[in-house]
Structure 1
Amino acid sequence: MTHTLNPTADLATDIDDVARLLTPDGERVSDPDLERWVADVDSAALRSLYRDMVLVRRIDTEGVALQRQGQLGLWAPCQGQEATQVGTARAFRADDFVFPSYREIGVNHVRGAKPADFVIAWRGEEHSTYNPYDINTATPQIIIGAQALHAVGYAMGIKIDGTDQVAAAYFGDGASSQGDVNEALVFASSFRVPVVFVCTNNQWAISEPVAVQAKFPIAGRAPGFGIPSMRVDGNDVLACLAAMRWALDNARHGNGPAFIEAVTYRMGPHTTSDDPTRYRDKEEVERWRRRDPIARVEALLRAEGAFDDAFAAEVAADADRLGAEVRAATLGATSREPIGVLDHVYAEPHSGLDEERTWFASYLDGFASTELSTDAEPATSEGAAR
């Protein structure tokens, strides 16, 4: 199933050439291709999706605040992209394997990441982050687009094993210009492997607008590789859930890869080291703020009589608890001794590693000596004379 694309769409301005089930005002609209994939989603399921998105936004808010306070080295915000992440991730089975970028906070949350898993990597502590096999999700990839190849390699193994697992790779619109992503599409198509590509088109690759990188919809590239694609409203959690269910079903039935372009917006900076006011205007940000993915689900739930003050208070309390846990995990993190960087480098000890340890220990002792001399009370002229 390929959503019909307008071949002359200008991605810088045309954000409505997408498949959707929920308008920015929270009204349900009909799309036969999507509706059948979410026919089971009732008010209770919608409330659950809403809760997850609120929790993800709270994790993100805490991450930004902790970095600003000097507790984290860096943070990659995901505000505005909660529907893309939560909607697609909720479609996975537990045994599917996901390869995220560094911004998929919502995907990792849905997959079962613990509070510490979101912050320890950005703090630079031991092991950096979670064990991938605990939640069947690879550690967040920093190299732009590399995870697409990793996902395809994993999917090739799935095909050899003959199971109906599926692998998935998440990357941004900027990464779609990388050779790694295009090579991954070639391999996935050639070997018809069970993998789903999710391109989160958040309009900006750091400071480069998507219209510079893609003159036509990014989802339109996939059919050129022989891969079916769909371009959906990335701020519509129902459309994102439906699109991923379609893509996973396609892969599980031996039909090979699928491609989803989720059109959304990065409300904050690329990372906390970035100043987005230098390359985009306030009017653009405000236009997208009115398309908020959480607000539109709340509007739908209120229209269905499934959102009241009690539910709002319950979700807010859950968010407060999770926020406190993320903060506690950060502030309670214990840094190991620097010499520990050489632990577990090799399975068996050897003389070369011993030499490295001896040299590094001496190097570290040099810093201790410097601190002692700096902290010592300076001698007076009288003392010097004596």
Structure 2
Amino acid sequence: MNIKEELMKLKTGLLTRRDIEEKDIPNDTIKIVKDEYTTFRNINSRLRNLDDRVDNYINWYYNNAVKGHYTPNGEYSEPREMRDLIEKVAVWYELRYPKYEVNRLMPGSDQEITEVNEVMFNNNQYINNIHGDNNLDIGTLNWPDFYNKEVFIKSLPSDEQFMFREVYYSSNVTIDANVPYLVRLHLTPDGIVDNAENFNYLKEDNSVDLDSYFVGKHIKEVLQYLKSNNISLNHNNNLEEAIKWHDKWVFLKDEFLNCVMYRIIERGGNRIGPRRAFLFAKEFNRNIDVPMMYGVDTSDPGLKLFVDEYIKAGGSKDLVCYKNYHRKSSKNEILGTIKVGEIIDWLEPIEKRSKGRQYVNKH
């Protein structure tokens, strides 16, 4: 299949996993509309399967950040490279928090005695060869801290590191205006106006000194003022384009991390996946509701402990979760739901009886 044929597949929304049929992909996933962020979120809210949400993101990325900005070869390869990067970060988190370490940090049905620090440091033959019989004091070393996100990000190629960097506004934005003067904003990285030049030439009256008025305001406030006061700007002007560019990349990076969390859940299975994703959510400021929603395995003896961790972290008892998401027999199988509060009501009596039996056995 040549490049042109592959691009036609991209345009029809087939940038998805091969086991997902075309009829399962919402038609509006691949459309570019005026409020693309709302459309994306509306589609995501209808997608129960987490891998479908990743596909939705890849389609959005192609349509809004790749299409028309790359060569045909780039348009073909960029979405796949983005999918690979999502997978790479998910694998890094698995290496950083192996199954036994997740069980140790978030006690569940399996009580682990293996510690990742022992495996990576004290029982590491390379380290033993360097230090001879003098074992390292593993109390001073911690594998998750050693293989921390800063180190991982620095190990990535520069183009992949970009997905983890802060998104800043351009330091200055020149306004396209039909006046003989340079109309320009000087901005802080966060989009606050440091200095404004020649904005008074955009209006007929002098009731407000706009150059002074805009200082200290956000670039979006400047745009809103100009629009609300009927001060016209050229189509596709630099002011609006600077805002769109910033918002687009903030959105792309935010949803990129969400997709990593989705893949951690899917890759880790019914118990470890959601718990590992919960650690990821707390570290990368993701929504902790998501791991809980997909982490209800009704056969899991450690489910109550997971729920307790979720509530302790600020979770809601009203959150509606899927029951046994990882045990579905097909992608479109209808799953039952249960609220976190209902899980607590169901499991607390069992937990109390178990503790009572333990007390009796001890005495």
TM-score, with structure 2 as normaliser: 0.25
In terms of Rg, which structure is larger?
2
Higher relative contact order (CA 8 A, sep 6+): 1
